[in-house]
Structure 1
Amino acid sequence: MAPTSALSGADGQIRAAGVQGLFHADSRALSQARLLVDDAEPEAIGHAHAGPGRTRFVSLARGLGDRVPDPTVRIDRVREIGPYGMAESVEIASTASMTVHTTVTIELGCDFAPIEVVKSGGAAEPAAAQAGADGELRWSAGAVQVVVTGKEAQAEAGSPGGGVSRLRWEVTLEPRSSVTLRWRAEVDDRAAVVVAPTGEAEWSMAEVTADDRRLTRLLRQSLDDLRSLRLAEAGAPGDTFLGAGVPWFLTLFGRDSLWAARMLLPLGTGLAAGTLRVLARRQGVRLDPGSGEAPGKIMHELRRHEFAVEGNGLLLPAAYYGTIDATPLWISLLHDAWRWGMPDGEVAALLPNLEAALGWLGDHADADRDGFIEYIDTSARGLANQGWKDSGDAVRFHDGTRAAPPIALAEVQGYAYRAALDAAALLGAFGRPGAARWHDYAGAMAERFRARFWVDGPHGRFPALALDRDKRPVDSLTSNIGHLLGTGLLSAGESAAVAGLLASPAMAAGFGLRTMSSEDGGFSPLSYHCGSIWPHDTAIVIAGLAREGFGAQAATLAEGLLAAGEAFQYRLPELFSGDAQSVVGRAMPYPAACRPQAWSAAAAVAIAHAAVGFHPDVPGGRVVVRPLEGAPLGAVSMRGLRVAGSEVTASVDAHGRSEVIGLPEGMVVDKPVAAGHTGR
């Protein structure tokens, strides 16, 4: 549970190697937690998730008990992660006919390694432990202290210089009996910039019933995972946002936190409101090339200290603003939350921040004044690419060569277009000046985009990934253009062309939407951003396809994600391989992907929401119902949607007929898709 997470082997052992450990707020609290029975590791037979932050690991002590083929001593290690740290219960059960005597040991280590060091394969010097009374071990480093306590255990501190510390129990099991051992690790971190929020989750635990049971299972697991990713700033525990992902990005990320909150709007506006306020408090106020800060700009990433990655020259300040898209996404989240029923008072309080964000969009986002939003890292130590595909090789031409910055990404122009219209709607509704200016801005952006971005490919015309330094279209076919759907930037014919290409075998032969076409020179199914599949990316495109009426294409991508969900026990990772289903048969993992990941988990909500097609406009007193045509995912019902504080159920049956129950008084269904659709 954020800000704490644990990485272990499938057997539950946390070994002193690689990236395993108990992590708390950007630091590794325990580098080892290894269970031994008579100085040997038990034989693991399986593990299962047991709810948010809780996992059961089952193993056998083969050398104990009766000498018969069936095992007679079983160990259930139940691990629970909480904001405080980690607790474990170790139940040893014997079905043997004899009395069993054994020694159970937990071997422990601590190195306080920063998360970026662990991610790059490094480690820190082991910290020295101090043993106390009543089974206590303690490690300290600056403002961070880790205390491990084993109930009724003997504690043994390791030798100076990093010797292994231990908790030890002498256990006697009578025939057909059991004993439970308990220990816990608590982390006191006074320098953490993120903490566990107060109160319960800000969204409803919606219930989905569906003909395709995979959707039900995926949503249930995803909602559990999202609860475990809730975070707040240390100084404002009442405003919740979602940490991006476990373990590398369990902190505030502007783009990630905004997209996750936007996908969860059908379940309530509380998370969106908290996310908006947290980012508004850290909105840029000055020009600083080193951090990427600019007046009105929404930040990218928050850490407790500089984030340095060895080997690639990356050195990010603790508060880093190197993102080109978080600011327009912040504007659109404020608008969408207002449409879903965020109280007018909360919206009005953020209008000064909206106007500051528009100031960045108008004055700083387009450095060369060509009418497009572009980025370049002038610090030489920040992110070279600053869209959601932010790896160094993410922006490539069709032949595989890399584009040179400044770079204007296709989807960012769509975000800016949509943000301008959303801002105009908010300004007009709340009596603030400037709406006409941003309507004009959007119209001009659409004209420029149509003139400069469209290119010809072997399967027809499509928007380029980006414009490079020389204003040349970067002519690879990528998932980025799917983010344009639903923004309004494209005409009906242009949307149809994009939808067709995104559902083509080159893009959608895997378990969702590939980030790059298999026909492009830079494609690799295990490239981070040039051929892999990202669930959130696919979900954004599914939502856009659904809004524009391309139900068959949306269903193709949704089916891919549901199949991937099966492969990953319904906990979708940050990304996975873009191999074709015909080649691998099941989704293959990407090494070191975060899991759970906030926007990947939120993708389940986006799929269910697209299926029922429920889009409220609380200020306008209406709701548009547009389920996927022909119900390609079968019957789907979402109970627990929240609209202006009311609980709503939206359903579509197997014939495509929709029903809405529980709308707030005065709201009406405006545009049902087809005859027979009803609203109450």
Structure 2
Amino acid sequence: MTGGTTLVHQGVFAVLDDVGDIRGTSGRSPDGLFVRDARHLSMWRLRVDDADLEVLSPGLLIPEGARGRPPGYAVFREQAVGSGVLAERLRLVNHTSEPRTARVRYHAAADFADQFELRADDREYAKPGAHRSCEPTPTGVRFDYHRGSWHAATVLHTDPAPHGVTVVADGASLDWTPRVPAHGSAELTLTVALLPPHGPVADQPAHPAAVVAPRTVSAGIAADTGAFLEAARRPGALTGRPELARACEQGLADLADLRVPAAGPDGEPALVPGAGVPWFLTLFGRDSLLAAYFALPYQPAPAADTLRALAATQGEGHDAARLEEPGKIVHEVRHGELSHFGQVPYARYYGTVDATPLFLVLLHAYTEQTGDTALAERLEAHARAAAGWLFASGGLDEHGYLVYSPDPAGLANQCWKDSADAICFADGTPAAGPIAVCEAQGYAYDALRRTAHLAERVWGDRAYARDLDEAAASLRHRFLADFPSPDQDGFPALALDGDRQRADVLASNAGHLLWSGILDAREGAAVGRRLLEPDFFSGWGVRTLAAGQHPYHPLSYHRGSVWPHDNALIALGLARYGLREEHDRLTSGLVRAAARHGYRLPELLAGYGRDEHPEPAGYPHSCSPQAWSTTAPLALLTAASDPQWAA
């Protein structure tokens, strides 16, 4: 997201413009106030004396047109989200020697749009029987949305109560006429309470005294984040590089805010990394697992909660519509209206080939990092089911590799590069399934080895451990024979297609093989050095595809851009194979990019090189904050301070 302000904390987020307004836009860059995949405020506009406001500095506004002459008012606006609310405090300061009566108006609306509607690129979803209503209350206004048994509400409380509320076609206008003393001030506090389905009971009457100051909300957020950081191992003490330390600290703080409520196998509460704002603030198998993995050496709680939440949503039966299979780890969990009514398949969608092995990788890494075997003991049945899926449904038994087939109703590609054109040959031709992407084979190899270790050391099952170790060795032997591309000097193919043809485009996925350790020392060193050559390395990071190839485009989502999490895994792999010079170059580029983005790495960057453009170019519609990007600097620090941690 570019411009404006994004506020986020534990499942609630607001995308506001620079003034603090919500203007009611739609499409690929939505603004609004969201919880559980629904927009609970689609309009939130402030006017003072019938004028829009302009920014002097963040939170300090004046009426438009006042520049060039002293304005009668300065308007101080504080906003915070958290605990199911947007809280706002407005303070009008009269800088003149005469008392004034101000006219303050808020225009509010709640369209309750599902996030999939806002992402739909002009696609419309039928909503038979849907009904919205707006009713004044003694302290503000209430918006309700009904569709059958589906009921959500947004309730606005104010202190003092508005002098007038006018319901109009697109929402409601609330008016105040405060008397502002000479050289004095007047204040107004507003609280927008979000009542989603399956959250607080939407039919519960709103209490008229339920007004919360933004500083109270901010104090609660600060206390929550402070407790999260206090329990963490502080990364700044582990590096002499101030910019890397700042990016790591920012990553931990962002991770605290991006946690969303979930539940474990017995319904116990959990807080898991939501993938990112604005589109993906929910439990994601792959994204949540890797964000938790990057943070694990510094704050293990997200890893434990993510493992529990994913165990609770693990596949139990066969459901072709959402690609559920026994033992499979979920790709995406959604809570919105369209998911509830089956209009999109994502209430629980299992279209991922890599979340299941990554679940096993994280379970072992958590056990090793913390010394806590209780979680591995508790999740033994889930881990065995996940390992069983690798063989029975994932493809290891039938195909010899972990494979996926394109889902006509969902994702064509079910790896981390999941756009439709991402998995291709050097001439740009898309691969056809069943597709075996290279990095998933590395994940599977690592998962089998790690689970064998748990089986022997924690579960006391040496026979099972031996079977898993033998399967890992067999997978590695096949991989080293089938994936290196003779036409690319042995560089691993991006994938094997359904005919076992190598998708021979030069892609960053090969760097993940260093992290998983499936390559031998010579091949690993060759891959690592190749990834730092100029066609791959932009100066900021390794491109998803090497420049100069037919499919390369610096503004393609997966065919030329630079992804921080992709680079973080590569950095861990470079350190594992002892490629210190390459690791340091990669880390320096990413840290420079982070410093130019306020020490928060976005979801991805454009692929332009530093020789083409002197600053790291943003990518349109990139999520920020985004969990596995903001935590990527933590992985860079781990690679520098403990090169063998991932091994």
Report the TM range for the smaller structure's normalisation: 0.7 to 0.9
Q: Where does 1:212-611 land on structure 2 (aligned, <5 Å)?
A: 212-233=241-262, 236=267, 238-304=269-335, 315-366=344-395, 369-377=398-406, 380-430=408-458, 431-432=460-461, 433-457=463-487, 460-611=489-640
Letter of the structure 2 residue corresponding to residue 171 of structure 1: P
Cα pair 2:166 2:174 within 8 Å, conserved: no
Cα pair distance change 1:91/1:82, threshold 3 Å: same
Greater strand percent: which structure?
Answer: 1
Measured on the aligned residues, the alpha-carbon RMSD in Å equals: 2.7
User: Equivalents in 2 of 1:59, 1:571: separation in Å?
Assistant: 27
What is the CA distance between 1:138 and its match in structure 2?
Answer: 3.6
Residue 80 of structure 2 contacts residue 86 of structure 2 at CA under 8 Å; is this kept in 1? yes
Change (3 A) 1:126 1:174: farther
Quick one: distance in 1 between partners of 2:455 and 2:397? 27
Q: Report the Cα distance in structure 2 between the residues aligned to 1:314 and 1:580, rounded to whole angstroms.
A: 42
1:330 and 1:473 map into 2 onto residues whose CA distance is 27
* Partner-residue secondary structure (3-state), 2:60: strand
Report the alpha carbon displacement of residue 424 of structure 1 after superposing the two structures with TM.
0.8
Question: Could you say which residue in structure 1 is the equivalent of 2:205?
Answer: none
**Structure 2 residue aligned with 1:44, among 55, 61, 64?**
55
Distance 1:356 1:175 in 2: 72
Query: Partner amino acid for 1:265?
Result: L
Amino acid at match of 2:272: F
Distance 1:156 1:401, change over 3 A: farther
> What TM-score results when the alignment is normalised by the length of structure 2?
0.87
Counterpart of 2:228 (choices 195, 201, 209) is 201
Q: CA contact under 8 A between 1:524 and 1:532: conserved in structure 2?
A: yes
- What amino acid does structure 2 have at the position aligned with 1:423? T
Partner of 1:170: 177
Give 2:63's aligned amino acid.
A
1:128 aligns with 2:133: yes
Given that 1:59 and 1:74 are in contact with CA atoms closer than 8 Å, whether structure 2 keeps it comes out as yes
Matched with 1:675 is none
Q: C-alpha displacement at 1:579, in angstroms?
A: 1.2
Distance 1:289 1:247, change over 3 A: same
Cα deviation digits, residues 152-201 of structure 1 (max 9, x gap): 141655546x33312222233334333332111101123259xx999753
Whose helix fraction is larger, Structure 1's or Structure 2's? 2
Name the aligned partner's letter for residue 49 of structure 2.
D
Please give the alpha-carbon distance, in whole angstroms, between the structure 2 residues aligned to 1:558 and 1:314: 43
The whole-number CA distance in structure 1 between the counterparts of 2:175 and 2:111 is 21
- Distance in 2 between the 1:409 and 1:589 partners? 27
Q: Is the 8 A contact 1:414 1:483 kept in 2?
A: yes
State the Cα distance separating 1:99 from its structure 2 match.
Answer: 3.6
2:168 is the counterpart of 1:139: no
**In structure 2, distance between residues paired with 1:314 and 1:577:** 33
Q: Structure 1 residue 413: deviation in Å?
A: 0.4
Amino acid aligned to 2:558: H
Corresponding residue to 2:60 among 58, 62, 67: 58
Query: 2:90 is matched by which residue type in structure 1?
Result: V
Q: Judge conservation of contact 2:334–2:347 (CA < 8 Å) in 1.
A: yes
Does the 8 Å contact 1:130/1:137 carry over to 2?
A: yes
> 1:437 is matched by which residue type in structure 2?
D
- Structure 1 residue matching 2:282: 3-state secondary structure: coil
* Alpha-carbon distance in structure 2 between the residues aligned to 1:168 and 1:364: 61
Aligned partners of 1:126 and 1:176: how far apart in 2? 47
Q: Greater CA deviation, 385-394 or 600-609? A: 600-609
Report the CA distance shift for 1:169/1:457 in structure 2 as closer, same or farther (over 3 A).
Answer: farther
- Which ranges of structure 2 fall in alignment gaps of 5 or more residues? 1-8, 201-219
Q: Say how many residue pairs are matched.
A: 598
Amino acid at match of 2:624: R
Distance 2:329 2:416 in 1: 14
SS of aligned partner of 1:590: coil
Alpha-carbon distance in 2 for matches of 1:551, 1:70: 59
Whether the 8 Å CA contact 1:137–1:155 is kept in 2: the answer is no
